[in-house]
Structure 1
Amino acid sequence: MWQTMMSKIAPRNKSGEYLRPSSQFRNSISAQTNSLYPAATGRYHLYVGLSCPWAHRTLILRTLKGLEDAISVTVVVPSAIAGGWIFDEPELDCASLAQLYQLAQPGYSGRATVPVLWDKQTNTIVNNESSEIIVMLNSEFNEFAGNPTLNLYPEALKEKIDSWNEKVYHSVNNGVYRCGFAQTQQAYNLAIDELFTTLDEIEAVLDTNRYLCGNNLTLADVRLFTTLFRFDVAYYGIFKCNRRRIQDYPNLGAYLRDIYQLPGVADTCNLESVKQDYYGNLFPLNPGGIIPSGPDMSYLLTPHDRDRIG
């Protein structure tokens, strides 16, 4: 029965390892006016879930770049009854995100995931791959941005950023899900070893670097941060990533606080939604649906002292 339930939320291979399906909508917005989806203010809309680390990336970029007036946002919530993300109030005559996907592509039968970058002019999904959306938000909307000079993906660091992104995605971002959704002991052991090997490597790098690629924040840090923020709250417990907490690492813990305390970032973070959605909606992992009272995350506001590096 457990394996049947898990198969609905976590496709697996023969070894019991979680296999994350690929995103299906991969078009791009460009600052070039002759493109299919030209950058504009008021045309594009984000659909996000506050508990989702992938969607959280897009909220952080929107905030750091000062794009709040240019790109609107709707927050969707997960429903165990509906089996997916739903709207508090219907939008475009849709009650669920699955219906919105159907509106964009009639007959669509894949997963309806967040984030969604929506084009209000053509009523369709431009992109639902977070790693690509944040690149667009970083570079293509500068004309409408409150902070246009901020560049989190500079040309000189792209190779290094991409290298970190690949490593962190496999072992950490998706690694925590590979731990939590593992359906054999062998699959779990492999994922947990890779997760903490990479966290230990990052801890060592942060001993001499303020951020992953040096002394300036990049997209690699944003992508890592959204997993670290959820780690002690959710992944440590419900996903069995319990060898160590992030706050137990001297450098990683301070690094997490450093990014959390950047202007506007904390406003994109919702601890209660994280606890509610992970513990309340992943029935196969937490059948009773009991939401834990802790942990105390007030340490996120304590001094980080990371500015002494570099």
Structure 2
Amino acid sequence: MSETLQHTDPGTGSDAAKAVYADPADTAVHGEYRITRAPGDERPLYRFTGRITADGSSGFKAEPGRYHVYAGWFCPWAQRVTIQLALNGLEDVVSVSYVDGERDGRGWAFRETHGPDPVNGFTLLREAYDRTEPGFDGHVSVPTLWDRHTGRVVSNDFTRIGIDLATQFGEWGNGADTYPEDLRAEIDALDAELHLAVNHGVGAAAGTDEAGLAARAVLLDAFAKLDARLAEHRYLLGDRLTEADVRLWVTLVRYDARSNHDRSINPGLAEYPHLWAYARDLYRLEAFNRTTDFATFTLPGAQLPDWNAPAERPQTR
């Protein structure tokens, strides 16, 4: 165990217990991480799907200081949530802490790299799941939304967590509307189109077998269509920054750092000038650059493009 530290919980302002950390990740001792299910258990991978509502009708009422997000700097799905918190001015309303980027059979853990768990003093994120459902056998993932009042996991459904943060905390937010009612159908339709082709497709596209080459063709076709779309619009759905942009961007920022780190898919995101300028334009926003730590997801040997290069974009109207 590391030297004891004092830590202040940003959600409550009170001194937490002395910090404790998990041992270093060790797959020789604990094995590789894998998802197990009880026999006959067909519940979804992201098993906890509670929703926060402004009026509390869901059982989880939007309140300042009540909720905590367990995130991972390395994880695109977790970054969706931390970007939403920043865009909506909720960083003092919902607190965040980060797990370590190394994982063994025990799952994600809290280590000195990013600090302790400031809410419960857990050393393993699995403890939050076991406290919610004793003997939990499903996927221990980030982001995980924790409720201090009930002492349980609300959700590990990253899409719905982001939507609830964008729509249910208006009383304490800054007035941003990243999931506007008039665009929700378009946002969700675009996400359905891009989720498999881009967000999940980048990993498969690095393969050289038949499936990998097929995924690559789909990915690059999607990039070409996005490039054409963004030639005329600053954001995916016109002149308003929305949840659709957040969902796509977390994959774009990792593209040349991870899946295409060796340029095996294509020469780089810069092959699509409008898409690349769009990605840099978003990176200039504090909510995007402050929640990005390239060191936590860039593979060895990767040559990153210049994310700080000027980005000329169509003017919003």
Structure 2 stretches lacking a partner, 5+ long: 1-31, 37-43
Determine which of 165, 168, 176 is the counterpart of 2:191. Answer: 165
Measure the CA separation in 2 of the matches of 1:78 and 1:104.
Answer: 23
Q: Which residue of 1 aligns with 2:303?
A: 295
Alignment deviations for residues 4-35 of structure 1 (CA, whole Å, 9 cap, x no partner) = xxx96699xxxxxxxxx731111100001444
Name whichever structure is richer in helix by fraction: 1
Q: Which residue of 2 aligns with 1:67?
A: 90
Measure the CA separation in 2 of the matches of 1:81 and 1:161.
Answer: 36
Measure the CA separation in 1 of the matches of 2:162 and 2:244.
Answer: 11
Instruction: Work out which structure has the larger RCO, using CA pairs closer than 8 Å and 6 or more positions apart in sequence.
Output: 1
Q: Which residue of 2 aligns with 1:304?
A: 311
Note closer, same or farther for the CA distance 1:309–1:51 as it changes in structure 2 (3 Å cut): same
Aligned residue pairs, count: 274
Measure the CA separation in 2 of the matches of 1:77 and 1:187.
Answer: 32
Native 8 Å contact 1:78 1:84 kept in 2: no
Native 8 Å contact 2:233 2:314 kept in 1: no
Q: Which residue of 2 aligns with 1:4?
A: none
Native 8 Å contact 1:208 1:309 kept in 2: no
- 1:87: how far off? 0.6
Q: TM-score, normalised by structure 1?
A: 0.82
Q: Are residues 1:176 and 2:199 paired?
A: no
Alignment deviations for residues 220-246 of structure 1 (CA, whole Å, 9 cap, x no partner) = 1100000000011111037x7622411
Q: Which residue of 2 aligns with 1:218?
A: 242
- 1:62: how far off? 0.3
Measure the CA separation in 2 of the matches of 1:255 and 1:50.
Answer: 22
Kindly report structure 1 stretches of 4+ aligned residues shifted beyond 2 Å. 7-11, 78-84, 89-94, 177-180, 307-310
Determine which of 119, 133, 148 is the counterpart of 1:120. Answer: 148
Q: Which residue of 1 aligns with 2:232?
A: 208
Measure the CA separation in 2 of the matches of 1:9 and 1:107.
Answer: 15
Q: Which residue of 2 aligns with 1:101?
A: 129
Q: Which residue of 2 aligns with 1:56?
A: 79
- 1:152: how far off? 1.1
Equivalent AA in structure 2 for residue 160 of structure 1 = E
Name whichever structure is richer in strand by fraction: 1
Measure the CA separation in 1 of the matches of 2:57 and 2:80.
Answer: 28
Q: TM-score, normalised by structure 2?
A: 0.80
Native 8 Å contact 1:192 1:241 kept in 2: no
Q: Are residues 1:138 and 2:166 paired?
A: yes
Note closer, same or farther for the CA distance 1:32–1:230 as it changes in structure 2 (3 Å cut): same
Determine which of 246, 255, 265 is the counterpart of 1:231. Answer: 255
Native 8 Å contact 1:176 1:241 kept in 2: no
Determine which of 198, 209, 217 is the counterpart of 1:193. Answer: 217
- 1:194: how far off? 1.2
Measure the CA separation in 2 of the matches of 1:82 and 1:9.
Answer: 7
- 1:197: how far off? 1.1
Measure the CA separation in 1 of the matches of 2:248 and 2:171.
Answer: 27
Structure 1 stretches lacking a partner, 5+ long: 1-6, 12-20, 280-290
Give the alignment's Cα RMSD to 1 decimal.
2.3
Note closer, same or farther for the CA distance 1:107–1:9 as it changes in structure 2 (3 Å cut): closer
Measure the CA separation in 1 of the matches of 2:183 and 2:304.
Answer: 36
Native 8 Å contact 1:39 1:141 kept in 2: yes
Q: Percent identity?
A: 33
Measure the CA separation in 2 of the matches of 1:260 and 1:192.
Answer: 25
Q: Which residue of 2 aligns with 1:270?
A: 293
Measure the CA separation in 2 of the matches of 1:109 and 1:22.
Answer: 10
Q: Which residue of 1 aligns with 2:6?
A: none
Measure the CA separation in 1 of the matches of 2:33 and 2:60.
Answer: 34
